[in-house]
Structure 1
Amino acid sequence: MKITKRGLTTTFMALALSGAAIFAGPAFAAGKMTVSSPQDPGSWDPVDTFLVQWAAVATNIFDGLTYRGPDLKLVPGLAESWEELDDGKRIRFKLREGVKFHDGEPFNAEAVKFTFERLLGDEGAKGPQRSNYIAIDSIEIIDDFTVDMKLKAPDPVLLTKLAGYGAMIVPPKYIQEKGEDNFNLNPVGTGAFKFVSYAPKIDIKLQANPDYWGGAPKLSELEYRFIAEPATAVAELQAGRVDLVIPPTIPIGMIPVIQGDSKLEVISVPGPTVDALRFNTRDGITADPKVRKAIIMAVDRATIVKSILAGQASEISSFQSALSFGYDEGLKTLPYDPEAAKKLLAEAGVKPGATVQIDIRGNDATMNEVAQVVSSYLSMVGITATIKPYETNVLLNDIIPQGKTGAMFQQKWGGWTFDYDNTAYAMYHSGEKWNPYDKDEKLDKLLESQRPLTDRAEREKILQEVARYAADRALELPLYNSNAIYGISKRVKGFVPAPDNRMKLNDVTVE
């Protein structure tokens, strides 16, 4: 891989041996692996989702032009190589030849063009992914296996975005003939595993794709069971009916249960996922920034991390992890100071006994416990907090986007690009799905100004300014950056944990 300075042509070239080392598998497949996932995404169309649990499954069904594995390094996917031209305003991709979709349809330049025109068109407008790819102006076919991606402006994170979610390459003929609704429930990609069946809220079953361009998987079958209740998932793991339980299923309190079983083990790795209680800045007492700051100062987050999370997390000062580009080590959040919190509440005219509602994901046992502790801290400064759990899909697809939350609501964000832009734009820019309440012209301009920049230092400076500005306005109560905790059977071999849950399982075996 060769990289020259910006202003010159930047060329990314994959060696054939490199690709083989990453993706190669044996010529045969045997064995079944069963994975417990806490959430059914409800649709398998890449343009319909933002959910980590979608990616945990669909990384094995679909491929992007690029791929980023558990080591977080960007490597070729369906594109063998690429080069940036015209000062980053055009990217030329050389595509893999001989690749077929699971239905036999050939992968080629037409499929790439169809994928991105669909993503940026009416179908993509229905989902949450299009805003991540608005830097793309058009796709020009050079020949059957060469495409130019023309950009409205350079996007320094685009190549990483092409490795996930909305940018997964989809089959034009299949979708045109079978229809969008069918594709939602019967996905077809080019990945290592083919779709077999989907029972909503129950499971999705896959089988090995023996013709996978990266080599046939070592497993013959892969099943994801949707088990929302952590105790049930762990019990199934103990019983041997599940081989792997993926994040964020396992609450801290159940780690000793798994560790105490000689057949199982816990694997914990630092990840990008952050949790916060965001504020309704439009309605009620949290419309006042003084009240929001008082609430932040009323909560002892260090104690929560130490006592409730048993050290399986770290405090955050902004809504991103330390792995995120744009993270500012010098940014300090408001200190734990209940007396100062009481004074701010008095200045804001909030009398003892004021109430707030905290909305959380009902199946998140850890957050349920954390929210109870937050409620206790708030009671010490005169605020009565009630906790309202929602089914996860309802909270994420209805309550938050429609601006129907209480004063505070849980936001768990994967930050899968490991770039603060991907989080901050979605959380703070006016009109975005995850920002139902707030409009701030200065924040909008800051977010927009960093996207076209190719100077990493200048981008980082602006992203850090965004974090400071959001903290100054107290747009959320930042809580913690949690580890990705996996529970796994020792029968599983070759498993590599991914910080962001996006893992190919084609090199895994089950004894």
Structure 2
Amino acid sequence: MRVPLTLGFAVMGLLVFILSSNVLAADEKVDTLTVAALSGDQGFPSPYGHYPHGGGYIMMSFIFDTLIWKDQNGFVPALAETWKYLPDENAYLFHLRKGVTWNDGEPFTADDVAFTFQYTKDHPYPLVDSSIIDKAEAIDENTVKIVLTKSYAPFLDQVAGAQPILPLHIYRNMSDPDDYKDEKALTGTGPFRLVDYDQTQGTYFYKANEDYYQGSPRVKQLKFVKVSNEMASASLKKGDIDAASVPAETTEPLEKEGFDIKESHDTTMIMAINHKKEPFSDVRFRKAIYYAIDRQALVDIFLRGFGCAGCPGILPSDHPWYNPDQEQYSFDPAKAEELLKEMGYSKDGQYFSKDGERLEIELLVQPGLNKPNFR
């Protein structure tokens, strides 16, 4: 018996981000910060022009701001200074900063925010669920109310903190924003302006927006250049770049030379099971699979020990929303064998059979995710 199974039980690769020791010291201004962009082109950095995967959102976010943002302590003001939930209306009221301007000098107002959320109902932004918005209205020049279609707990995180705000005076006559690659499409309120974008080379060059409402950026010029994964360490040592992500096992000599190391998760690999197909429809069979997977061994072998062992569900174990009280299904081959025998399987050497037919599971792997990816 051969049955398909999508690769999974999340294994988290470790992304190691290296910074030159003299970059961004406290309160110090930097003329130029050059970052290695291992994956190259991320699309035209407008809200509708960037690629919806990889670093496309980051490239766009240097130019466009959201209503709120996050730091290590939670939500922080961005274009909105304060906000509150109105339970009787299932709506959020945002009080906006005064004196903010777009990078073409036009004033930013609540009309821009209301327009953005109405506009995205007809022209959905790929990384935000616009169906959650019922309507958005400007109460006055600096106040906007966003009414939801239903209760939505992650609204602040996944909508207010993710949707780039568009300039009304630029986008109101734009019927096809996906194909709009004009310089005006890059009219934002963010900390940088785009100076040059080379799609072929996958390079980006930004200059600081000196009129940025949160103050002049400490980095005056920001460059992203394409550097291969193999050359990143050498380029850091030569001083050609100031920051890069590198394979975790290569960090020790860089750390000894004074580079700062920042760790974060990279790729999550998920196991998805079709519960409607036999034998996966039997919960005992699914549990047997979970008990049979040595997740720490996957990290040790395929990620050379640099990673976070997979866990039940989508979220990694160090995520703030992770629930440690759920069943963990620790590696237990004996328990897996017990469950399969309950279902009528018998073990013949290293294999299980039922009704004379050997059990085989076929893993279906998405291209590009069947090997460690440290980008």
Shorter-chain TM range is: 0.7 to 0.9
Q: What one-letter code is carried by the residue in structure 2 that aligns with 1:255?
A: T
**Which residue of 2 is the match for residue 276 of structure 1?**
269
TM-aligned CA distance change 1:255 to 1:221, over 3 Å? same
**Which residue of 1 is the match for residue 219 of structure 2?**
219
Cα distance in 2 between the residues matched to 1:190 and 1:142: 21
Cα distance in 1 between the residues matched to 2:300 and 2:197: 40
Greater fraction helix: 1
TM-aligned CA distance change 1:41 to 1:346, over 3 Å? farther
> Shift in Å at residue 326 of structure 1?
4.5
**SS of alignment partner, residue 269 of structure 2:** strand
TM-aligned CA distance change 1:187 to 1:257, over 3 Å? farther
**Which residue of 1 is the match for residue 43 of structure 2?**
42
**SS of alignment partner, residue 99 of structure 1:** coil
Q: What one-letter code is carried by the residue in structure 1 that aligns with 2:38?
A: P
Which residues in structure 2 correspond to 1:385-424 (within 5 Å)? none
Cα distance in 2 between the residues matched to 1:86 and 1:355: 49
**Which residue of 1 is the match for residue 298 of structure 2?**
304
Cα distance in 1 between the residues matched to 2:66 and 2:233: 33
Cα distance in 2 between the residues matched to 1:184 and 1:99: 23
**Which residue of 1 is the match for residue 6 of structure 2?**
none
Q: What one-letter code is carried by the residue in structure 2 that aligns with 1:57?
A: M
**Which residue of 1 is the match for residue 324 of structure 2?**
329
**Do the aligned partners of 1:64 and 1:77 also contact (CA within 8 Å) in 2?**
yes
TM-score by length of 1: 0.55
**Which residue of 1 is the match for residue 246 of structure 2?**
250
Cα distance in 2 between the residues matched to 1:119 and 1:145: 21
Q: Percent identity?
A: 24
Most deviating of 322-331 and 89-98: 322-331
**Do the aligned partners of 2:64 and 2:165 also contact (CA within 8 Å) in 1?**
yes
**Which residue of 1 is the match for residue 255 of structure 2?**
259
**SS of alignment partner, residue 190 of structure 2:** coil
**SS of alignment partner, residue 336 of structure 1:** coil
**Which residue of 1 is the match for residue 75 of structure 2?**
74
**SS of alignment partner, residue 136 of structure 2:** strand
**Do the aligned partners of 1:29 and 1:208 also contact (CA within 8 Å) in 2?**
no
**Do the aligned partners of 1:43 and 1:184 also contact (CA within 8 Å) in 2?**
no
**Which residue of 2 is the match for residue 187 of structure 1?**
186
**Which residue of 2 is the match for residue 472 of structure 1?**
none
TM-aligned CA distance change 1:163 to 1:243, over 3 Å? farther
**Which residue of 2 is the match for residue 368 of structure 1?**
371
Which residues in structure 2 correspond to 1:200-239 (within 5 Å)? 200=199, 202-227=202-227, 229-239=228-238
Cα distance in 2 between the residues matched to 1:160 and 1:354: 38
Q: Deviation digits for residues 287-331 of structure 1, max 9, x if unmatched? A: 766776555444311223356353542442221134545522122
Structure 1: segments with no counterpart, 5+ residues: 1-24, 371-484, 487-511
Pairwise CA RMSD: 3.7
**SS of alignment partner, residue 156 of structure 2:** helix
- Does residue 351 (structure 1) correspond to residue 358 (structure 2)? The answer is yes
**Do the aligned partners of 2:46 and 2:60 also contact (CA within 8 Å) in 1?**
no
Q: Work out which of the residue numbers 144, 148, 159 in structure 2 matches 1:151.
A: 148
**Which residue of 1 is the match for residue 195 of structure 2?**
196
Cα distance in 2 between the residues matched to 1:355 and 1:274: 22
**Do the aligned partners of 2:89 and 2:147 also contact (CA within 8 Å) in 1?**
no
**Do the aligned partners of 1:64 and 1:164 also contact (CA within 8 Å) in 2?**
yes
Cα distance in 2 between the residues matched to 1:287 and 1:184: 51
Q: Work out which of the residue numbers 160, 164, 167 in structure 2 matches 1:171.
A: 167
Cα distance in 2 between the residues matched to 1:45 and 1:350: 56
**Do the aligned partners of 1:99 and 1:213 also contact (CA within 8 Å) in 2?**
yes
Q: What one-letter code is carried by the residue in structure 2 that aligns with 1:330?
A: D
Structure 2: segments with no counterpart, 5+ residues: 1-25, 346-351
TM-score by length of 2: 0.73
Q: Deviation digits for residues 4-29 of structure 1, max 9, x if unmatched? A: xxxxxxxxxxxxxxxxxxxxx99x97
**Which residue of 2 is the match for residue 109 of structure 1?**
110
Cα distance in 2 between the residues matched to 1:43 and 1:349: 58
**SS of alignment partner, residue 147 of structure 1:** strand
**Which residue of 2 is the match for residue 51 of structure 1?**
53
